[in-house]
């Protein structure tokens, strides 16, 4: 069960729980093991999520590999109808960094990786975002941001007015109470391109952050991995194989009893926001060179008296996440 937050903190569940029409969704991602699990969860939920496209960015591995892995995820899920656009191959300002020590040299461990059948969609992810958001009805498109925020930042710099087409941006990224996972202060996605995250934050778009503070509470366990395996189809077996290889890094590093599936939390939040709780706060991002580079400064207690600019998700129902993932994987082959 969810632990209650401080007295008086209420999570504002969005209309997603009650809406009849699916959420118009663009997934911006850098697959990555947990990204692929998130993509499976999203692609198995067509009644709730109308995935317009997947846009890829360099992050966990180089762009050509994240773009290949996104197309493989579509192929494995039987969703070749979803176009995949390749985007930014490097951050706005800083030198590129990758996370091969966590995700492997190919971005995926535990499964065989080959060349997908479907090609990339023609055109660039940044231009796709500019064109699609620019033509969208006001506040109609949700963006699930699973990696560095470079693509959206470049689009916003090119056409600031496209912010009008965005309903919300839901970010896997940041850390406050938990501490970082790439430095003591910074979470990887923000550290990889803090300048891009600053652009998105400054745009005024409605932002929700699912930081390490919550994803490090949504852990695998032997029972939960067995639960996923019991689905007993190709999709569930791939997820179990990916997770068994992926979670060992964090379990060894942090001494945790299981591993987090970070990016899947964003999709779970869109599907079942009642699984999560948090509150609106003021957040800023440190892009200064030094030991706090890439840190998200989350003013949880409101000591700065600044206007809230993000929803900061702090708690989540771990078993609820894995129940949802199991149920949705059962819809795939």
Give per-residue pLDDT as tens, 249-292: 999 999 999 999 999 999 999 999 999 999 999 999 999 999 99
Average pLDDT, the chain: 93
List the 141-145 sheet strands across, edge first.
84-86, 49-56, 23-29, 141-145, 166-172, 207-210, 310-316, 276-285, 296-299
Give yes or no for residue 29 having a pLDDT over 90: yes
Are 215 and 265 spatial neighbours (Cβ–Cβ below 8 Å)?
Answer: yes
**Is residue 101 very low, low, confident or very high in pLDDT (cuts 50, 70, 90)?**
confident
**Is residue 136 very low, low, confident or very high in pLDDT (cuts 50, 70, 90)?**
very high
- Strand 296-299 with 49-56, pairing: unpaired
**Is residue 104 very low, low, confident or very high in pLDDT (cuts 50, 70, 90)?**
confident
Can you tell me the mean pLDDT for 152-170?
98
**Is residue 7 very low, low, confident or very high in pLDDT (cuts 50, 70, 90)?**
very low
Per-residue pLDDT of 206-234, as tens digits, reads 999 999 999 999 999 999 999 999 999 99
* Selected catalytic residue, list 103, 216, 262, 282: 262
Give yes or no for residue 197 having a pLDDT over 50: yes
The pTM score is 0.93
Can you tell me the mean pLDDT for 120-139?
98
Specify the pLDDT at position 14: 41
Can you tell me the mean pLDDT for 172-193?
97
CA 204, 10, 148, 238: dihedral to nearest 10 degrees? -140
Tell me the C-alpha to C-alpha distance, in Å, between residue 278 and each of 15, 61, 186, 205. 16, 31, 20, 18
Are 242 and 109 spatial neighbours (Cβ–Cβ below 8 Å)?
Answer: yes
Task: Identify whether 282 is a catalytic site residue.
Answer: no
Nearest to 24 by CA among 35, 16, 34: 16
In this predicted model, which residue has the larger pLDDT, 117 or 16?
117
């Amino acid at each position: 069960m969810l632990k209650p937050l401080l007295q008086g903190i209420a999570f504002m569940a969005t209309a997603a729980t009650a809406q009849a029409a699916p959420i118009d969704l663009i997934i911006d991602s850098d697959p990555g093991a947990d990204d692929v699990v998130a993509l499976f969860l999203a692609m198995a939920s067509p009644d709730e999520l109308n995935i317009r496209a997947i846009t890829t960015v360099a992050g966990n591995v180089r762009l050509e590999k994240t773009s290949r892995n996104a197309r493989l995820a579509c192929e494995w899920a039987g969703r070749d109808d979803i176009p995949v656009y390749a985007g930014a191959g490097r951050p706005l300002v800083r030198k590129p960094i990758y996370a091969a020590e966590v995700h492997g040299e190919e971005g995926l461990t535990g499964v065989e990786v080959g060349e997908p059948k479907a090609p990339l969609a023609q055109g660039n992810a940044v231009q796709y975002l500019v064109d699609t958001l620019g033509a969208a009805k006001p506040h109609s498109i949700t963006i699930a941001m699973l990696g560095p925020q470079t693509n959206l930042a470049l689009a916003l710099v090119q056409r600031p007015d496209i912010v009008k087409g965005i309903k919300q941006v839901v970010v896997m990224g940041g850390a406050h109470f938990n501490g970082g996972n790439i430095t003591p202060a910074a979470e990887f996605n923000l550290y990889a391109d803090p300048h891009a995250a600053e652009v998105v934050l400054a745009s005024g778009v409605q932002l929700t952050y699912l930081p390490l503070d919550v994803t490090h509470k949504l852990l695998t366990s032997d029972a939960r991995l067995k639960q996923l395996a019991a689905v007993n189809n190709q999709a569930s077996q791939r997820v179990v194989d990916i997770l068994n290889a992926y979670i060992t890094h964090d379990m060894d590093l942090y001494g945790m009893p299981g591993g987090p599936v970070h990016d899947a939390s964003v999709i779970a939040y869109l599907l079942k926001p009642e699984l999560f709780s948090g509150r609106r706060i003021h957040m800023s991002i440190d892009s200064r060179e030094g030991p706090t580079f890439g840190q998200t400064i989350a003013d949880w207690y409101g000591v700065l008296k600044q206007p809230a600019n993000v929803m900061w998700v702090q708690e989540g129902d771990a078993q609820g996440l894995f129940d949802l993932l199991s149920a949705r994987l059962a819809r795939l082959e």
